[in-house]
Amino acid sequence: MIIDVHGHVTAPPEVYGHQARLLADRGCFGRPTLKLTDDRVRQVVQPHLEAIDEVGIELQLISPRPYIMAHAQTPHKIVQWFTEEVNNLIARHVEMYPDRFQGVAGLPQGPDVEPAKWLPELERCVTELGFVGALVNPDPAEGMGHVPPMGDRYWYPLYEKLVELDCPILLHSSGCNNGRESYSNHFITEGSIALLSLIESDVLADFPELKIISGHGGGSVPYQIGRWRATRVRYEPKRESFDDSLRRFWFDTALYNVESVEFLLRMVGADRCLLATEIPGTGSERDPATGFWYDDVKRLIDSIGWLTDGDRDLVYERNALEVFPRLAARLGATKAGDPGV
């Protein structure tokens, strides 16, 4: 099975209108009702299904679109309400198309809201809605303030609950409101900060069962690996190599050019990479030179000559079954990563 671990929900305009109302009145008149018929949901999902069909994706894990989550908005109750509505919409996608989608939860994060307060929605999504993972924004302040980096103990209540639920996370920044960075620039930067902070921390020593996927190929980290190798040798020569530390994490392949995808596979290994396209998303444009979609990442991986069939099997399926135990159980896997699955 070809499994894409990084997709986002397709929502009708009514969902964004609902959010606009929340932002306009800041919840002063209570929580508004969002009503969508099944026919309306199917109508907007059909182009999404056609898009993943075209590039050979059989099953996609979908989460909220990060740029609309507005984690830094106030009062926090409007973030909470909108997050719940989007997670409910994801659950409807999965219920309607269980063979094509599985859910990844958005969290009601906020710069002034302790991680412990995000946990009820995480638990609801996993235990009640059946989601297989969670999306985590390393910078819920959205470029406008200071939130401790992800190696800080500030994040430990979240990590404890993730381990309890056996729930992996995909790191993916959200919006940016500081006027200095574009959205894409911000999430690459914040992804890099998060990954480096985690690498230099005790998080995986304290939570050895925690599974963390670094979205969009690890930000800048694998592609600047020489700098981090030298820094490790200079300041911590008795620690394991930087490469070994890097390989304690997982990486998705939503990169959109074959050179970067190939470099990532060489640096961290096919056994630590998971197919990701983010369709429909940033890469959903056709390359004028080739006519292919930029986010047809499977085509890029298929074109890398030195990869073996076993390598591709890891990237397309087996690693996802290892990282997402609920997904493996749902697909009937007797053992995560079993080549016979």
Name residue 135's beta-bridge partners: 170
Band (pLDDT 50/70/90 cuts) for residue 177 is: confident
Please count the CA atoms within 13 angstroms of the CA of 332 that sit on its side-chain side: 4
Q: In this predicted structure, what is the pLDDT of residue 336? A: 41
User: How crowded is residue 91: how many other Cβ atoms within 10 Å of its Cβ?
Assistant: 19
For 306-322, write each residue's pLDDT tens digit.
999 999 999 999 999 99
For residue range 59-83, what is the model confidence (pLDDT) as tens digits? 999 999 988 899 999 999 999 999 9
Give the per-residue pLDDT at 340. 41
pLDDT above 90: percentage of residues in the chain: 90
Q: Residue 122 has which token pair?
A: 């995480």
Give the span between the Cα atoms of 341 and 327, in whole angstroms: 12
Catalytic residue among 121, 200, 262, 278: 278
| Amino acid residing at 187 | F
Closest CA to 82 of 21, 135, 141, 139: 21
Average pLDDT, the chain: 94
Q: Is 278 a catalytic residue?
A: yes
Q: What angle do CA 2, 95, 316 make, to 5 degrees?
A: 10
Q: Rounded to an integer, what is the distance from CA 305 to the centroid of its chain?
A: 28
Q: What is the DSSP letter of 240?
A: P
193: Cβ contacts below 8 Å, ≥ 6 apart: 138, 139, 149, 219
Q: How confident is the model at residue 104 (pLDDT cuts 50, 70, 90)?
A: very high
Q: Which amino acid is at 324?
A: F
Q: Measured between alpha carbons, how far is 168 from 166 in angstroms, rounded to an integer? A: 7
DSSP type of residue 178: S
For 5-55, the pLDDT digits (tens) are 999 999 999 999 999 999 999 999 999 999 999 999 999 999 999 999 999
Structural fold of domain 3-330: TIM Barrel (3.20.20)
